[in-house]
Structure 1
Amino acid sequence: MSGGTGLRERKKRQTYRAISEAAIALFLEKGFDAVSVAEVAAAADVSKPTLFRYFPAKEDLALHRFADHEDEAARVVTAARAEGVPPLDALHRHFLDGLERRDPVTGLSDEAGVLAFHRLLYGTPSLVARLYAYQGRSEQALADALGAVGKPDTAGLAARLAAGQVVAVQRILAEENWRRIAGGESADDVAPDAVAAADLAFAQLRDGFPG
Structure 2
Amino acid sequence: MAEGLRERKKRETRQRISDIATALFVEHGFVTVTIAEVADAADVSVNTVYNYFPAKEDLFLDRSKDVVHRLARWVRGRDAGESAVAAVLRELREEVETVSPRVGLTKDYERFLKVIHEAPPLRSRLWSIAQEVQENLEAALREETGAPADDPMPTLIAGQINWLHQTVMGVIGREMVAGRNPDEVSREVLVLIDDMEGLLSEKVLNYAVRGAE
Alpha-carbon distance in 1 for matches of 2:199, 2:148: 21
1:11 corresponds to which residue? 9
**Aligned positions of 1:1-211 closer than 5 A:** 6-78=4-76, 80-110=77-107, 113-152=108-147, 157-207=152-202
Change (3 A) 1:33 1:186: same
Q: In the comparison of the two structures, how many residue pairs are matched?
A: 204
String of CA shifts for 1:27-48, please: whole Å, max 9, x gaps. 1111111100111112222222
More helix by share: 1
Q: Any stretches of 5+ residues in structure 1 without a counterpart?
A: none
Structure 1 residue matching 2:25: 3-state secondary structure:
helix
Map of 2:208 onto structure 1: none
Maintained 8 Å contact 1:73/1:91? yes
Choose 120-129 or 36-45, whichever is displaced more: 120-129
1:30-83 Cα deviation digits (max 9, x unpaired)? 1111100111112222222222222222111111123332212111111x3211
Structure 1 residue 145 displacement after superposition: 1.2
> Residues 104, 125 of structure 1: CA spacing in aligned structure 2 closer, same or farther, 3 A cutoff?
farther
The Cα offsets for residues 74-125 of structure 1, whole Å up to 9 and x where unpaired, read as 11111x3211211110000101111012223423333xx3332222223333
1:168: how far off? Answer: 3.5
1:148–1:155 CA contact under 8 A, matched in 2: no
- In structure 2, the CA distance between the partners of 1:157 and 1:48, relative to structure 1 (3 Å rule), is farther
Q: With CA pairs under 8 Å and 6+ residues apart, which has the higher RCO, 1 or 2?
A: 2
CA contact (8 A) 1:88 1:206 kept: no
Amino acid at match of 1:189: E
The TM-score normalised by the length of structure 1 is 0.83
| Structure 2 segments unaligned to the other structure (5+ residues) | 205-213
Say whether the 8 Å CA contact 1:74–1:142 is kept in structure 2: yes
